[in-house]
Amino acid sequence: MITIETGFKLNQKGELIYLTIPSFEETELVRHGFTTRKGGVSTGVYSSLNTSPSKTDSTDNVKENLSIVCSAIDIDYKRLVLSDQVHDDKILVVDEKDIGKGLTRSSDIKCIDALITNVPGVPLMTFYADCVPIFILDKAKSVIALVHAGWKGTVLKIAAKTISKMEESFGTSPEDCLVGIGPSIEKECFEVGQEVYESFKNSYYKYNEFTSAKPNGKYHIDLWHANFQSLLEQGVPESNITICGMCTKCNEDLFFSHRRQGESRGSLSAIIELKP
């Protein structure tokens, strides 16, 4: 039986609500957080804490929202390095030359679903609205990563590939990695057809542990458990993985959800920085 440490920490500062990972905080190596939809200045379908500049929300609103969030976790929002996600398994190592790309500077970061850095003061940022956010911290070598794992990225085992890239680039050992699997769509809310199910069946030899058939010919898939399984296979200790356990589709008051709202909604964000 797999036992999983569960739970992120819910933080509130005024109207702002965001989540952090207790095991990450205990290291005192990073500043980090996962946003909710609470505490921003956006209105309408973006109410209130949309963090994505790719939406039709005003740029001023997005920057103010990011300023609010980043001030709470002691990060300069103008330095954020933004991903450009396409539901693939491309991974990029970034450093000082990438500071501000995608927000305060034009960006050449294209088609990237995971970001890595070992440079203090280079904050990473990725976007979500049901897909799985994965925070990674190599506490021995001081390397961080953010991974955007939708169902396609999960099939491609992008989280495990990111740790492999950290090994290759910085000598990371998987047993030194702490991992946080953040708020995202839970199994009972994630219904898929035969084609998606077959993709998981072909990619994971223990697929039966996180998939189940429905009477209507559809399937439920547990993306948290699938990513957890791929991380174990990569060598991350079970005790080093924290699963938030909060569903973005179910928790309407706290989270934006693509399955619930479609394209007319804001985006949630994962943010992390090595302390200078």
Alpha helix positions (H), the chain? 22-27, 59-72, 151-155, 158-170, 194-203, 223-234, 258-261
Are 123 and 117 spatial neighbours (Cβ–Cβ below 8 Å)? Answer: no
The pTM of the whole model exceeds 0.85: yes
Distance CA 51, CA 30 (A): 20
- CATH number of the domain encompassing residue 197: 3.60.140.10
Q: How many domains does the chain have?
A: 1
Residue pLDDT, tens place only, 81-107: 999 999 999 999 999 999 999 999 999
Domain that holds residue 10: 5-274
Peptide bond into 269 cis (omega under 30): no
Residue pLDDT, tens place only, 210-262: 999 999 999 999 999 999 999 999 999 999 999 999 999 999 999 999 999 99
Per-residue confidence band for 6, with pLDDT thresholds at 50, 70 and 90: low
Burial (0-12, 13-18, 19+ Cβ within 10 Å), 195: exposed
Distance CA 154, CA 222 (A): 10
Whose tokens are 């991903």? That residue is: 83
Model pLDDT, residue 1: 30
> Which strands make up the sheet holding 81-82, listed edge to edge?
9-13, 16-20, 30-35, 268-274, 124-128, 81-82
Per-residue confidence band for 24, with pLDDT thresholds at 50, 70 and 90: very high
